[in-house]
Amino acid sequence: MAKAKIIYTCRECGAGFPKWSGQCGDCGAWNTLEESVASASAGSGSSRRGNWAGTASAEVVNLGEVRPEDASKRLSSGLSELDRVLGGGLVPGSVVLLGGDPGIGKSTLLLQAQSALAGERGSLYVTGEESAAQVAMRARRLGLDPAQLNCLTETSLEVILATAARHAPAFLVVDSIQTVWTEALQSAPGAVAQVRECAARLVQFAKQTGCAVVLVGHVTKEGALAGPRVLEHMVDAVLYFESDSGSRYRLIRAVKNRFGAANELGVFAMTGTGLKPVANPSAIFLSGAETPAAGSCVLVTREGTRPLMVEVQALVAPSTLSNPRRVAVGIDQNRLALLLAVMNRHAGIQVGDQDVFVNVAGGIRVGETASDLAIALALQSSLREKPLPKGLVAFGEIGLAGELRPVYNGEERLREAAGQGFTEALLPEGNRKGVKARITARGCTTLAQALASVREG
């Protein structure tokens, strides 16, 4: 096989050069040239100049004649929560990228999925990080039948693809994409160009053979997937493992999914025998304290396609700093600043000389604006050192004018709260109309009104 031609492409402007240099000769940017494989057809050729005579044409597909993907064709991983995050199971021919901190359980999860997905065509677990003995030991510990699992310890992309083509598995795991390297490039494994090229070839393999591929990706200190951002564009789904340090619960979130809801959340518990799906996750994010504590408020958020109850905790305490601290864990720091400003302007709550800490219990991240009201209530409760009434939940978005805005799926959230034993809900007036859930719903139109209503009890 002829060696592929290597060119150096500028990350900023896309100009290509035969040699590496510190500065792009085209746009003048520094340190932007990256090694990549030149594709034979790019740029040159007659098609550019409007002469199509020598180029073979391709078939155009009429979408009306394409049979929609059969849902029953999805492969079940045997783990209900993983299937949920994937939108109902793995789609044949799709590529999923699974990212997460070291030791969070990526290899464990995929090994567990492996045995369920073996099916008639079998599955293949490619690892560049562990020896076959280590994988076999883990499989035994997980109570899986090692005879069902095929493992390949290899890091060369060419060997991996050739082996996979021979075995034609229905499911292929590459653990991890950062350890795989191709002969076509000279850079070291894990380099941006290597990761991108190897991923692109694996995506191509998946599409051509109908094999479902899962790539494990390392994350950087900042929590983003190591390697190029383009990796996220290339694959069909991107899943992230999240966890509170020290907690035994593991959350898998779909940040992108071409075959299901984005932001879907799967919850697992790490046990002595691997990851176990948690069917009723609402229960684990609530502290379960008999008497409510000051500064704590329960809210119903909606992650993906299901409601989830979480507890926000706030601590407001006098500060000795000239610039009091604003710390947000599990919610957006800017959102907290915005809420404090609205509370100040529209509800007369001043915390300018106080340190403010907000934390979402259980290590979960809440990105929804529906959490605004609960955060505001928790802040007020901490400031006044008065707990909120027992059995109260709250949700609603707060606008800059101090108004309370309705949120989607109000009824569903209330039903979840009622099901978890909550008796009263504080919510935007727009969400109160037509409530059928068995819970006392108190609607408010402004933040000031909502804050006052709990002050009065």
Q: Which residues bind ligand TYD (CB under 6 A)?
A: 100, 102-108, 138, 141-142, 270, 272-274
The count of residues interacting with Mg ion (CB under 5 A) is 1
Task: Considering the complex, state which of residue 110 and residue 435 has its C-beta at the smaller distance from Mg ion.
Answer: 110
Task: List the alpha helices (DSSP H) in 45-156.
Answer: 80-85, 106-117, 132-141
Q: Which residues pair with 329 in a beta bridge?
A: 359
Shortest separation between residue 127's beta carbon and Mg ion, angstroms: 8
Buried b / exposed e across 349-369, counting CB within 10 Å, b at 16+?
Answer: bebeebbbbbbbbbbbbbebb
Alpha-carbon distance values, 125 to 137, 153, 312 (Å): 14, 8, 40
Is 197 in a helix, a strand, or coil?
helix
Task: Tell the smallest beta-carbon distance from residue 106 to Mg ion (Å).
Answer: 5
Closest CA to 181 of 191, 169, 166, 167: 191
What are residue 67's phi and psi, to 5 degrees?
Answer: -75, 130
Q: In angstroms, give the least distance from the CB of 245 to ligand TYD.
A: 12
Among the candidate windows 99-107, 225-233, 289-297, 436-444, which touches Mg ion by CB under 5 A? 99-107
Report the residue from 77, 107, 114, 371 that binds Mg ion according to the rule CB under 5 A: 107
**Closer Cβ to Mg ion, 130 or 332, answer by number:** 130
Q: How many CA atoms lie within 13 A of 12 on its CB side?
A: 11
Closer to ligand TYD by Cβ: residue 102 or 246: 102
Burial of 256 (0-12, 13-18, 19+ CB in 10 A): middle
* CA 347 – CA 365 distance, rounded (Å): 27
155 binds Mg ion (CB under 5 A): no
C-beta closer to ligand TYD: residue 141 or 345: 141
Q: Is 179 in the site for Mg ion (CB under 5 A)?
A: no
Tokens standing for residue 392: 């109260």
Residue among 138 and 326 whose Cβ is closer to ligand TYD:
138
Pick what 108 binds: ligand TYD, Mg ion, none; C-beta below 5 to 8 Å, kind-dependent.
Answer: ligand TYD
Q: Considering the complex, state which of residue 107 and residue 296 has its C-beta at the smaller distance from Mg ion.
A: 107
Residues 395-414 binding Mg ion (CB under 5 A) are: none
**Residue 321 corresponds to which tokens in the numbers above?**
């700093």
> Measured from the CB atom, is 200 or 219 closer to ligand TYD?
219
CB of 173 to Mg ion, least distance (A): 10
- Closest separation in Å from C-beta 101 to ligand TYD: 7
Report the nearest approach of Mg ion to the CB of residue 120 (Å).
27
Question: What residues form DSSP beta bridges with 353?
Answer: none
Contact 413, 395 (CB under 8 A): yes
| C-alpha to C-alpha distances, 198 to 85, 160, 190, 204, 285, nearest whole angstrom | 25, 10, 10, 10, 39
**Contact between 112 and Mg ion per CB under 5 A:** no
For the CB of residue 193, give the shortest distance to ligand TYD in the complex, in Å. Answer: 24
DSSP letters for 268-296: EEEETTEEEE-S-THHHHS---SSPPTTE
CB of 111 to ligand TYD, least distance (A): 8
Tell me the closest approach of the beta carbon of residue 60 to Mg ion, in angstroms.
43
> Residue 288 binds what, of ligand TYD, Mg ion, none (CB under 5 to 8 Å, by partner type)?
none
Give the nearer residue to Mg ion in terms of CB position, either 250 or 415: 250
Answer with the entry of Mg ion, ligand TYD, none that 141 interacts with (C-beta below 5 to 8 A by kind): ligand TYD
Q: Kindly report each contact of residues 198-201 with a partner whose C-beta sits within 8 Å and lies 24 or more positions away, as own/partner.
A: 198/157, 199/95, 199/231, 199/234, 199/235, 200/234, 201/157, 201/161
- Residue with Cβ nearer Mg ion (107 or 431): 107
Residues 6+ apart with CB under 8 A from 320: none
Does residue 9 belong to the site contacting Mg ion (CB under 5 A)?
no
Kindly list the residues in this chain that would bind Mg ion in the complex (CB under 5 A).
107
